[in-house]
A and B are shown apart, each in its own frame.
Chain A
Amino acid sequence: MKTGAKILVESLQREGTEIIFGYPGGVVLPIYDELYDSSLRHILVRHEQAAAHAADGYARASGRVGVCLATSGPGACNLVTGIATAYMDSIPMVALTGQVPTSLLGNDAFQESDITGITMPITKHNYLVKETADLSRVVKEAFYIAGTGRPGPVLIDIPKDVSTTSVKDVPVPEKVELRGYNPTYHGHKRQIEKALNLIAAAERPVIYAGGGVILSNASAELLSVATQMGIPITTTLMGLGAVPGDHPLNLGMLGMHGTEYANFAITECDLLFAIGVRFDDRVTGRTETFAANAKIIHIDVDPAEIGKNKRVDIPIVGDVKSVLTDMLTCMKKTAGHEAWIKKIRHWKQHHPLKCPDDGRLHPQFVIRQLSELLDGNGVIVSEVGQNQMWTAQHYCFKHPRTWITSGGLGTMGYGLPAAMGAHFARPDVPVFDVAGDGSIQMNIQEFGTIAAEKIPVKIAILNNQYLGMVRQWQELFYDRRYSFTELPAVDFVKIAHAYGIEGIRVESPDEVKPALQAAIDCPGPFVLDFRVEREENVFPMVPAGAAINEMIGGHPR
């Protein structure tokens, strides 16, 4: 006989879980008691939202399923933003929540909330387990659903009596069989052939690659396709790192804060090869003008993404890696599109991203210095706002899964906890959270976690004393009326010290490199408070609803 709590912990270990991020409470006491002398590592966070983001950061950096745990009611509700963040970016995660005993379900019992109801639209699937005997099967299914097809978070709600009840050991099924869940992995042969013919006939092709490439671990295949056929690549925010930032065919990011050359290339291409992307409005700008003269090929594992926002000529439903591998086997080498590549090279030369050099401390400069120092050997996590966009623009990502950011939901407060999770996936490299002064204060309590657990995350705060991205919109579109976007100066070094974390303030450009080096050299966590130019803007920028080649803050054409 085994209790539900024991079955749960054993099931997690059977799925290969090595670490869970959580926070205890009344109805999860039986589970915590089981964790007390388990070999499963548990990290106590300071807020459940951080547990969800940490599990998500771990998943993104490792490619495995992240796990978080919270108590019922307030604990479960605190996970919600983290679950929604993972859902929007298709991150594999299993969220475990305690629930009031089955006899009290629906009674408005103490700390009861209908978390399966609340998370229905933000999970790939969720379970309310009513029988202890179902637990091992449910855990197995949850991991399977979270990690296969288009990945996503799965929540398991476990009433207290389900954890305490003992049942005879139930055999766990070898394979998961779900009648309603059969993701398509292999692309249709004929569609792949048609796509190859279209690519061969194109004069101005562009690859538009996104988070799907990273999720499917298809970076190598993507680069082979691009180089063998001579096709320039632009990536979405989520796709950064899929191809090396300094590769000659790489055009960087496209969209609202994309490079001018990427957006020009999209506008002028005659073939758009979309891979693991979802034509998000931050990417496309006005959809009618996005790649308006191009035929479109779209690979995605989720059929619902194909044709959702833009009509597609050749849809290919399948796993990106599998489809690109099939393409590579039947691909004939085509012309190198010399004229097109030359034109793009010209744009690249005449429309580079700008980094002011006037002796003052500019945030772009901080990112470039960090990029130089790490040279691809680190994991960069970001918060949300200008800090995120400057990092996306100016850091040269060289490997997949080294760029971790909340793309779809844009969750401020994501960075620090996600960086904690990323550290456990990549303890071999420095992990930086590039933060804004606003965002960092949304989960600043996690200074407590990194101090207590000695998690050597480096926090680089681009402190502009503004909710900078919102201020930028107010400057540009609301006549500089800075309504509730100014933040009084905070001495983040003092806060760090209060938690026993080292830190320094940086106020001039020449201090940047030594400060970053000090952070890297420090064996523990480190806080860098960069007092940057306060009213710096992220440019170029496509105003909301404009065509993506109508950028402001770029170079004259």
Chain B
Amino acid sequence: MKPHTLSVLVENKAGVLSRVTGLFSRRGFNIESLAVGPCEIPGMSRITIMVIADDNKIEQIMKQLNKLIDVIKVSDLTDNERVERELALIKVTAEQGSSRAEIMQVATIFRASIVDVSPKSLILQVIGDSDKIDALETLLRQYGVKEFVRTGTIGILRGSKTVAPGK
């Protein structure tokens, strides 16, 4: 079992997301992360799904995804050179004083930006792969993470190759 990143190009229609996720839940798979948004083709959206499963289970699920009428194309990015990014917003307890300064140092190391400041808390915005985000969240925990939101990973192939309709 290993993590797979699937890129799924779909018609941007009501119900598509539940058709897609239904195929995973029916097989008892937990989706680790999911991100959806419109893409370069009018009327279509791209879904990036991260899921942990055997290679043959993934092959079966990709075939099943391909059978959905509203799915245009499915690609497994896992074994390809790719860029993966996720954005997270972290609200940390930060009273005036030494901890606030420390948090701002940690933010600099992670190239996170401070996007909101209030007397008792800070909001950090960080972009990276999921490991980097996990690491930052772990570090910040000692100060008190009040809320942690992440977008889910999105992925794209390096070079000129694309996940586009047709072959």
Residues of A bordering B, CB below 8 Å:
116-117, 120-121, 124-125, 128, 145, 178-181, 302-304, 307-308
Contacts and interface: CB of A to CB of B under 8 A. Distances in A.
Contact of A120 (B22, B59, B64, B165): B22
Contacts of B72: 179-180
B11 A179 contact: yes
Contacts of A178: 69
Contacts of A121: 22, 26
A179 B26 contact: no
Nearest to A306: B63
Interface string B72-99: 1000000000000000000000000000
In the A-B complex, the 8 residue pairs with the smallest Cβ-Cβ separation, listed nearest first, are A304-B63, A125-B69, A180-B72, A181-B69, A180-B71, A179-B72, A180-B69, A180-B70
A25 B68 CA distance: 31
**Tier of interface size on chain B:** 20 to 34
Nearest to B60: A308
Nearest to A145: B69
Contacts, number: 37
Nearest to A305: B63
B165 A179 contact: yes
Interface string B42-75: 0000000000000010011001101111111000
Interface string B33-46: 00000000000000
Contacts of B67: 302, 304
Interface string B152-167: 0000000000000100
Interface stretch (B12-20, B102-110, B123-131, B138-146): B12-20
B11 A117 contact: no
8 contacts: A128-B14, A180-B10, A180-B70, A180-B72, A303-B63, A304-B64, A304-B66, A307-B59
Interface in B1-30: 10-11, 14-15, 18-19, 22, 26
Contacts of B15: 116, 120, 128
B63 A180 contact: no
Contacts of A303: 63, 66
Contact of A180 (B18, B22, B26, B68): B68
B82 to A, nearest CB: 23
A421 B14 CA distance: 34
Nearest to B64: A304
B43 to A, nearest CB: 9
Contacts of A145: 69
Contacts of B11: 179-180
B9 to A, nearest CB: 9
B36 to A, nearest CB: 16
A117 to B, nearest CB: 7
Contacts of B63: 303-304
Contacts of B69: 124-125, 145, 178, 180-181
A47 to B, nearest CB: 28
Contacts of B60: 304, 308
A304 B71 CA distance: 15
A284 B165 CA distance: 37
A180 B68 CA distance: 7
A210 to B, nearest CB: 19
A162 to B, nearest CB: 15
A124 B10 CA distance: 16
A108 B86 CA distance: 38
Contact of B18 (A117, A124, A181): A117
Contacts of A180: 10-11, 68-72
Contacts of A308: 60
A179 B10 CA distance: 9
Contacts of B66: 303-304
Nearest to B9: A180
A302 B26 CA distance: 19
A178 B10 CA distance: 12
Contacts of B59: 307
Given A121-B26, A307-B59, 4 more contacts: A124-B69, A179-B72, A180-B11, A180-B68
A110 to B, nearest CB: 23
Q: Which of A120, A178, A179 has the most CB of B within 10 A?
A: A179
